[in-house]
Amino acid sequence: MRSLMLFGVRLDDMDSDELHARLLDLLSQPNPSLVVTPNPEFILAAQTNHAFREVLHSSALSIPDGVALRFAVAAVHGEHNLYRHPGVDVLPELATMCRNNGVTLVLLGATDIILAQVKMRFATLAEGIHIITLNPGIINVEDPRLSEDVLYSLRAIGPCVIAVALGQGSGRSQGKQECVAAQIVAKVPNARIVIGVGGAFDALSGSVRRAPRIFRRFGFEWLWRFFIEPWRSRRIFRAAIVFPIMVAYGTVRTRTFGRALAHVFVELRNHFFL
C-alpha cells in the first residue's frame, strides 16, 4: 500500500487484495477505526472546511472513490494507476466479513424503507449475517451529531461495523456524514469499523439504478447520475469541472503544468486502453 497526499487529503492506494487484508486487520482491532472514501468533492471541501479536513486526517483508512482522483494524482505526483473502490462495492465485502467473523453490521441513515430493502439485500448476499438498522432522524447541519439515544443504542449492540449513509451534504453541511462517523468512533467503543458510504444504500436498495458496467469500467458513473438525477448537476459540475481546474491551477503555480499534462495523457491511455 502506498499513501499519497492530494491537496492536503491522504489517499491510501491499494489493490482489492490489499484492501481486503487491511479491512480484516481493522476488524480485528480492539478499538474503533474510521474509514473514509474521498472523492473530488471531498478534496474541494477540505480546502475551506478545516474541521472536515481534520476528520479525514484522523481516519485509519482513506479509500479513493472517484475516477478524477486518478488523473489528479498523475498530474500532481506523476504516479499512475491509482486504485479506486466505490463504497457501493466495499460495503458488500464488509457484510461478508461481518458474517464470517460473527460481527453485527449496522446500517445507519437513509429512510426506513431503504434501510429495510438494503437489509433484505444483505440477508441474501451474506446469508446468516446479523444486521441492525437505525434511522437517526434529522441531523443538524450546523453541528452534525447523533442524539444520545442513538449513541446508547449503538453501544448496546456489541462488536459491530457501522455503515453511515447520511450523504455528503453541500455548502456548510459538506462533510456531515464523516463528522458523525468520527463522533461514533469517539463515543462507541464496541465499534470496529465506522465507514461513510454516501449514496451506497440507494444503489444497494434498488431505489437508484446503478450505472451500467461499461460506465463503471471507464469511470463515467457521474455522467450516469446526471442522466437519472439531473438535480445533481451542481455537484457534478464541481467534481467534473471545478476540481480539474483546481488541479490544473495547482500545477501552473508549481510550474509543472507541461509535465503534469504529459502524465495525464499517459493516465488516459492506461485508463481507456490497458
pLDDT value of residue 169: 58
Q: Which residues contact 45 (CB under 8 A, 6 or more apart)?
A: 52, 168, 174, 175
Residue-wise pLDDT tens digits, 27-60: 999 999 999 999 999 999 999 998 899 999 999 9
Distance CA 268, CA 45 (A): 26
DSSP assigned state of 242: I
Is residue 225 scored above 80 in pLDDT?
A: no
In angstroms and rounded to an integer, the radius of gyration of the C-alpha atoms of the chain is 18
DSSP assigned state of 31: S
Give φ, ψ of 217 to 5 degrees.
Answer: -60, -40
Domain-located, residue 179: yes
pLDDT value of residue 222: 75
Rounded to an integer, the average pLDDT of 260-273 is: 91
Please tell me the pTM assigned to this model: 0.93
pLDDT classification of 172: cutoffs 50, 70, 90: low
Domain-located, residue 212: no
pLDDT value of residue 227: 78
pLDDT value of residue 146: 93
Is residue 168 scored above 70 in pLDDT?
A: no
Distance CA 204, CA 214 (A): 18
For residue 179, CA distances in Å to 1, 38, 143, 247 come to: 26, 14, 9, 26
Domain-located, residue 214: no
Question: Does residue 80 contact residue 266 with C-beta atoms inside 8 Å?
Answer: yes
pLDDT value of residue 193: 98
pLDDT classification of 240: cutoffs 50, 70, 90: confident
pLDDT value of residue 97: 96
Is residue 141 scored above 80 in pLDDT?
A: no
pLDDT value of residue 173: 54
pLDDT classification of 161: cutoffs 50, 70, 90: very high
Question: Does residue 8 contact residue 38 with C-beta atoms inside 8 Å?
Answer: no
Helices (H), the chain: 16-27, 40-46, 50-57, 67-77, 87-101, 112-125, 148-155, 176-187, 200-205, 213-217, 221-228, 233-237, 243-253, 257-273
Distance CA 114, CA 102 (A): 24
Question: Does residue 175 contact residue 52 with C-beta atoms inside 8 Å?
Answer: yes
Domain-located, residue 31: yes
Distance CA 112, CA 66 (A): 28
Domain-located, residue 217: no
More confident residue, 215 or 16: 16
Q: What is the mean pLDDT of the chain?
A: 90
Distance CA 95, CA 163 (A): 10
Domain-located, residue 220: no
pLDDT classification of 210: cutoffs 50, 70, 90: confident
Here the cell at position 129 is 449475517
Query: How many domains would you assign to the chain?
Result: 1
pLDDT classification of 186: cutoffs 50, 70, 90: very high
Domain-located, residue 211: no
Domain-located, residue 91: yes
pLDDT classification of 196: cutoffs 50, 70, 90: very high
Distance CA 36, CA 64 (A): 8
Q: Give 3-23 as a DSSP string.
A: EEEETTEEEEE--HHHHHHHH
Residue-wise pLDDT tens digits, 59-98: 999 999 988 999 999 999 999 999 999 988 999 999 999 9
Rounded to an integer, the average pLDDT of 133-153 is: 88
Question: What range does the domain containing 77 cover?
Answer: 2-203
Percent of the chain past pLDDT 70, that is, above it, reads 97
